[in-house]
Amino acid sequence: MFEWLNHNISLATLLWLFPITFLIHDFEEILFVERWFKKNYSTTSHKVPEFFRHTFQKMSTITAAQFTLPVALQFFVYIISTYFAVEHQYYPMFLGFNLILLLHVFMHIGQSMLLGVYALGLGTAVTVTLPYSIYLFYRLVDEGIVEISTILTSLPYGLITILIVLLGHKMAHKLL
């Protein structure tokens, strides 16, 4: 199957699919965040680890509009990192962001297992983000563009994503 993908998807197209797959995943979260918390908060909040309960409670009041601001900030930064990867073959930020997004898939799986309900975003994490990430990293390594060690050392760049999300949520609570 990877051979077919290799022949039919250019590397540039594959890289530019990153912001698109991110948006598909986050659109699921934006569209359902309010409904998910209304339906699941009371039955799941006691299952959340103590150190995360305050954040979970705060997230339970978020609106779709407030959730959109950090997503928009991430999307903007992801477009810039993709541009540098495609046009200048500068991969560290791109790799770091994709590595965080791949790890994020397992966060959704873990949330679902911990809470005993369908976790917000799980569907697109497993059906869109996971296959894209696996193929992306396979292709970059297979074509000799990066090594696995390069992917791992790019993780600190991915942490920028976490800062953007935290900043975006803080701004959203003040502005919206």
Q: Are 146 and 140 in contact (CB under 8 A)?
A: yes
Q: Give me the mean pLDDT over the 86-94 stretch.
A: 97
Model confidence at 19, pLDDT cuts 50, 70, 90, reads very high
Q: Specify the pLDDT at position 63.
A: 93
| Total count of residues recorded for the chain | 176
The residues spanned by each domain of the chain are: 2-175
Model confidence at 2, pLDDT cuts 50, 70, 90, reads confident
Q: What is the pTM of this model?
A: 0.92
List, in order, residues 6 or more apart from 154 with CB less than 8 Å away.
Answer: 91, 92, 93, 94, 95, 96, 99
- Please give the Cα distance from 77 to 83 (Å, whole number): 10
- Please give the Cα distance from 138 to 135 (Å, whole number): 5
Q: Give me the mean pLDDT over the 72-92 stretch.
A: 97
Model confidence at 95, pLDDT cuts 50, 70, 90, reads very high
- Please give the Cα distance from 27 to 30 (Å, whole number): 5
